[in-house]
Copies of this chain bind each other. A is one copy, B any other.
Amino acid sequence: MAAQAKPRRRRLALVASRGSLDGAYPPLILAATAASLGWEVGIFFTFYGLDILHKKRHKKLKVAPIGNPAMPVAIPNLVGALPGMTAAATTMMRRWMKRANLPTIPQFLDMARESGARLFACSTTMGVMGIREADLVPGADIAGAAAFLDFAAEADVSLFV
């Protein structure tokens, strides 16, 4: 955007489509970082990502112990499929996040709201994912993909996570 005639705030447009704990952190870290740099931020939560806006579910996002061979502690898939392993992998990642001084998911959402970030809840997939307006954290706007594309069209950086 070097051709900009007059200075304006930079803008970050994110899509958050994943609902696992390790899928929720990247968009929230990027959003918090951009906001701390003075950028305008908007996040479009869609599909499984809607869980990040879900008042109850977002406190309990989980990590899958299987299907990801890059997990820091290698877990054979057969072991990963045993009852209790999702809970174990989730506890482990929570502990890592805490050690790295990262906020929790609800804390990140509070920070986003306080910084003025726009939180779009995808209207098309709310029904598909079984999420109603009353389930969402305060400050979320129910919006369609068209509203997100309008917002992203003027963004300096757009990322689908």
A91 at the interface (CB under 8 A from B): no
Q: Does the CB pair B70–A51 fall under 8 Å? A: yes
Q: Does the CB pair A70–B99 fall under 8 Å? A: no
A1-B153, A33-B144, A158-B157 known; A86+B99 contact, CB < 8 A:
no
Nearest chain-B residue to A70 (Cβ)? Answer: B19
A80 at the interface (CB under 8 A from B): yes
A116 at the interface (CB under 8 A from B): no
Interface residues of A in 70-89 (CB under 8 A from B): 70-72, 76-78, 80-83, 85-86
Q: Does the CB pair B78–A20 fall under 8 Å? A: no
- Report the Cα distance A23→B17, complex, angstroms: 10
Q: Does the CB pair A62–B69 fall under 8 Å? A: yes
Closest CB in chain B relative to A116 CB, distance in Å: 17
Cβ contact of A100, chosen from B37, B67, B128, cutoff 8 A: B128
Q: Does the CB pair B30–A149 fall under 8 Å? A: yes
Cβ contact of A12, chosen from B12, B15, B149, cutoff 8 A: B149
Cβ contact of A25, chosen from B34, B47, B69, cutoff 8 A: B47
A157-B158, A160-B159 known; A67+B68 contact, CB < 8 A:
yes
Q: Which residues of A contact B (CB under 8 A)?
A: 1-5, 8, 10, 12-13, 15, 17-20, 22-23, 25-26, 29-30, 33-34, 36-37, 39, 46-48, 51, 61-72, 76-78, 80-83, 85-86, 90, 93, 96-97, 99-100, 102, 124-125, 127-130, 144-146, 149-150, 152-161
